[in-house]
Structure 1
Amino acid sequence: MLKISLTRRLVLSVFAASIAAVASVPLTAFAYDEASTSAINLDAKQIALKGYDAVAYFSVGAPTLGNAHFSAKHGAATYHFANAENRAKFIANPEHFAPQFGGFCAMGVALEKKLDGDPQAWRVVDNKLYLNVNKDIQKKWLENVPGNLKTAQGNWPTIKDKTPNSL
């Protein structure tokens, strides 16, 4: 009887911890437009990366706000850059610099979700830019980057054209 009671408590505590973890993701963590089927995370003005310079993650190694004066379109998205040189680099090779999974949270994609990517919670892995919904989730993602990327890459083709609120 004591074993059953301890097992039941363990199961209940794991369940409670799981609920708490899900509840801790703020509602604003979802993509800007939860009804959008876009595979790119854009704001209302079709700006990607919330206006941050995609090239700066590689050249400066830090999130750097872009300037609308130095912008370029790639697909449905407009990207802003800190300077003309970064804009030129992006135009020459947008697939290299554009964030993976359309700028949605890499850990979210691994969990079959399209969560908003935070330009401050980023990592370049194998010369590709990945965002996470926040730095706490990023810590979890960093515990197993190869495994999480493999899972996310498998999930992305299935979820990329779905609305965040349908997942």
Structure 2
Amino acid sequence: MNNLLHYKKACGSVIAAMLMIVSLHASAKPPIYTTFFSDLAVAGYDTVAYFTEHKPVKGNKRFVTEYKGAEWRFKSADNLAMFKADPEKYSPQYGGYCAWAVAMNDTAKGDPHQWTVHDGKLYLNYDTDIQAKWLKDKEGFINSADKNWPGVIQ
């Protein structure tokens, strides 16, 4: 009987520890923003196109790669090759989360239509109102966001 009680206590401790680990893991956000029902980075937009065409361009299912746990789509094989050669160059800053939100020590979705390329880096914002705030002091917000990243997703 004493062994059974000891076994139950040990199992209870193991289960409690496992639940704590699962809870901690569940609270962390992925390094790349995707929606709940999709693993598409930047909602399927071609991140290279922001630099080459200076506008959002939908990616194609034929030109995909996996990077940091997300699926990235591209308009062409050339854009896919450019991304693969230097994904950090073409990935949006802060994993595609809203740059202004990260500057505020928080997270929010990044909208692929609310974007800025500044000093060779791509930044996304939540919506047009937030982007208007962002554009008033990009340098200041970038400095704050750089200090907060990646802590806001951990």
| Mapped pair 1:54 → 2:47 | yes
Q: Counterpart amino acid of 2:142?
A: L
Higher helix share: 2
Q: Counterpart amino acid of 2:29?
A: T
Identity of aligned residues (%): 41
Q: Look up the match of 2:67.
A: 74
| Mapped pair 1:113 → 2:98 | no
Residues 123-147 of structure 1: per-residue CA shift (max 9 Å, x gap): 0011000000011110101101111
Q: Look up the match of 1:128.
A: 121
* Higher Cα Rg, which structure: 2
Distance 1:124 1:138 in 2: 12
Distance 2:42 2:57 in 1: 10
Q: Look up the match of 1:140.
A: 133
Pair 1:36–1:47, CA change in 2 (3 A): farther
Distance 1:57 1:136 in 2: 21
* Structure 1: segments with no counterpart, 5+ residues: 1-33, 162-167
Higher relative contact order, structure no. (Cα contacts within 8 Å, ≥ 6 residues apart) = 1
Q: Counterpart amino acid of 2:31?
A: A
Q: Counterpart amino acid of 2:125?
A: N
Contact (CA 8 Å) 2:44, 2:73: kept in 1 or not? yes
Contact (CA 8 Å) 2:31, 2:68: kept in 1 or not? no
Normalising by structure 2, we get a TM-score of 0.79
Q: 1:142 is paired with a residue of what secondary structure?
A: helix
Q: 2:145 is paired with a residue of what secondary structure?
A: helix
Normalising by structure 1, we get a TM-score of 0.73
Match of 1:88 among 58, 64, 81: 81
Contact (CA 8 Å) 2:134, 2:141: kept in 1 or not? yes
Q: Look up the match of 2:96.
A: 103
Distance 2:106 2:152 in 1: 8
Residues 70-116 of structure 1: per-residue CA shift (max 9 Å, x gap): 11111201100011110010011101001100000000001111100
Q: Which runs of 4+ in 1 moved over 6 A?
A: none
| Mapped pair 1:158 → 2:144 | no
CA RMSD of aligned residues (A): 1.4
